[in-house]
Amino acid sequence: MIVMKFGGSSVQNEEAISRVISIVSTRLREKPVVVVSALAKVTRMLVEIAETAENQNIQRVQELLGQLRRRHFDLCASLLEGEILESASARLEQLFGSLESFVDGVCQIGELSPRSRARIVSTGELLSSTIVAAAMNQKGIICNWADARKMVITDSNYMGARPDLETTRANVRREIGEASRGADIVLTQGFIASTPEGWTTVLGFEGSDFTAAILGMALDAERVEIWTDVDGIRTADPRVVPDTQRIEAVSYDEAAEMAHLGARVLHPLTMGPARMKNIPIRVMNTMNPEGDGSWVTSAADTADGAKSVAFFTEIDFLEVFSDAMTGTARMLGTIMDSLRLYGVEPQIVGCSGQKVSLTFETGQEGLSKAVEAISGDYRTVLSRDRSQLSIVGRNVARIPGLSALIVESAKVYMIAEGADFQSISAVVDRTEVKDAVAALHGKLFNPEEGRKAVS
Ligand code: ADP
Ligand code: ASP
Ligand code: MG
């Protein structure tokens, strides 16, 4: 058995879905369980619908719902016919009816709880999976639809829920076992899940990769294939850096570190369940199915050295100063207690006797309050115009000269090595980050300069 996950751009329109069907049809002998995301940009649109409803802008809500309806029904009509079209359209009608009355309720009361938000944004995967499953059947692949909410059971952190892996494993085996009887494939949704009481939750944005790994773990799959729009994991984000190269293989730890530090080709939590059962992950390009892609496997199979340059264009950067010698334990204690209290996660932390520097992914609501709390005891400076870049790879922090390459690439406000030697990260000005990443990437991975740089 294998798990194949197709992201939003891989199921965005008729052409893309046809490609998915032909890719899946080459794997039928391996009994695929197929996981799909919402059509490209749909989740973002659902977030907008939820927030517009909270602001009671009914006219705009209706416009957006109308666009969403048209896109899905048009896609159905172009892919399906006869009875299959009828039953898929009836299911879409049901899903839209339920979404519309729910959104109407939010409009009426002007209030949006995390639970309501999760309920609204989960609709994208329910819609896309209905269409893709019907399209498979239309093409003669016998496909059963399974409900991820009956399988993946989570806590009640609605928008970033964490699964109970034991319960989930039992559910997945039961549901997939039943659904695969008499079918060529089973198709289900990424991203969406539910609490034990049956309230819908989601695993966090981009969380469909995580679902695929959870299913892979639960089913003891031979491998998990993540199908996306790039030729595997690359030496940097190809949308930003020219001349990137495909990476043959990285370890689970390297892939998790890359994702944590901004290389978001895989969701950072994906590697956890895969590692538990040593299930290889293969990242493949839907536009180039014959390509080799990249493997994520156990560390034993991969070499040491710089693999990739990752970055976050937008981070918040906090510097905390102690003028008196109050002690590092007390200072770190105050900082971490405040961050925990307001639910804020730091990215990287650098520490010296009288100063602690931290970076944060932007958009964390509790940060201002946490900084206010820390400021009661220490002087703080919070900068919102910085970026973060990192070199990632097994033992990179042990390679002489790599920090120097970073310092040469831009003015640096903080530099920190990962405790496991897998990364060196720096904070730079936002105006400099793209050029700095490209320069660093050139030196590391351009064959001529690279050899000089890393040896
Ligand atoms: P999907 O919709 O299939 O989940 P994503 O947009 O989430 O796709 O992830 C694929 C994107 O990840 C690529 O288009 C690319 O821009 C980005 N990316 C960032 N860093 C890397 C990297 N090191 N290697 C490959 N892709 C990367
Ligand atoms: N559709 C969800 C999102 O856009 C999950 C995913 O694509 O992985 O975040
Ligand atoms: Mg993704």
Domain boundaries, the chain: 3-229, 308-453
Give phi and psi for 355, each to the nearest 5. Answer: -150, 140
Among 36, 41, 43, the mutation site with the greatest number of ligand 2 atoms within 8 A of its Cβ is: 43
Using a 6 Å cutoff on CB, does residue 236 contact ligand 1?
A: yes
* pLDDT at residue number 242: 87
Cβ contacts of 42 within 8 Å, gap of 6 or more: 8, 68, 71, 124, 127, 128
Give phi and psi for 334, each to the nearest 5. Answer: -60, -45
CATH number of this structure's domain 308-453, picked from the four choices 3.30.2130.10, 3.60.21.10, 3.50.50.60, 3.40.50.300: 3.30.2130.10
Using a 6 Å cutoff on CB, does residue 9 contact ligand 1?
A: yes
Q: Which ligand is nearest to the CA of 7?
A: 1
Distance separating alpha carbons of residues 263 and 228, to the nearest angstrom: 14
Atom of ligand 2 lying closest to residue 208 CA: 8
* pLDDT at residue number 107: 97
* pLDDT at residue number 454: 42
* pLDDT at residue number 327: 84
**Distance from the CA of 230 to the center of ligand 1, in angstroms?**
7
* pLDDT at residue number 447: 56
Distance separating alpha carbons of residues 299 and 253, to the nearest angstrom: 7
Classify 3-229 by CATH class. Answer: alpha beta
The distance of Cα 128 from the centroid of its chain, to the nearest Å, equals 18
* pLDDT at residue number 451: 40
**Distance from the CA of 433 to the center of ligand 3, in angstroms?**
23
* Under-70 pLDDT residues of the chain: 300-301, 447-455
Distance separating alpha carbons of residues 251 and 166, to the nearest angstrom: 25
Specify the pTM: 0.95
Q: With H, G, I as helix, E, B as strand and everything else as coil, classify residue 31.
A: coil
Which one-letter DSSP state was computed for residue 164? Answer: -
**Distance from the CA of 8 to the center of ligand 3, in angstroms?**
7
* pLDDT at residue number 303: 82
What Cα–Cα distance (Å) separates residue 26 from each residue in 76, 153, 290? 23, 31, 11
**Distance from the CA of 207 to the center of ligand 3, in angstroms?**
7
Q: Which of 121, 128, 148 is nearest to 44 (CA)?
A: 121
Name every protein residue with a CB atom under 6 angstroms from any ligand 2 atom.
7-8, 37-38, 43, 124, 190-191, 205-208
**Distance from the CA of 279 to the center of ligand 2, in angstroms?**
22
For atom 6 of ligand 1, the residue with the nearest CA is 265
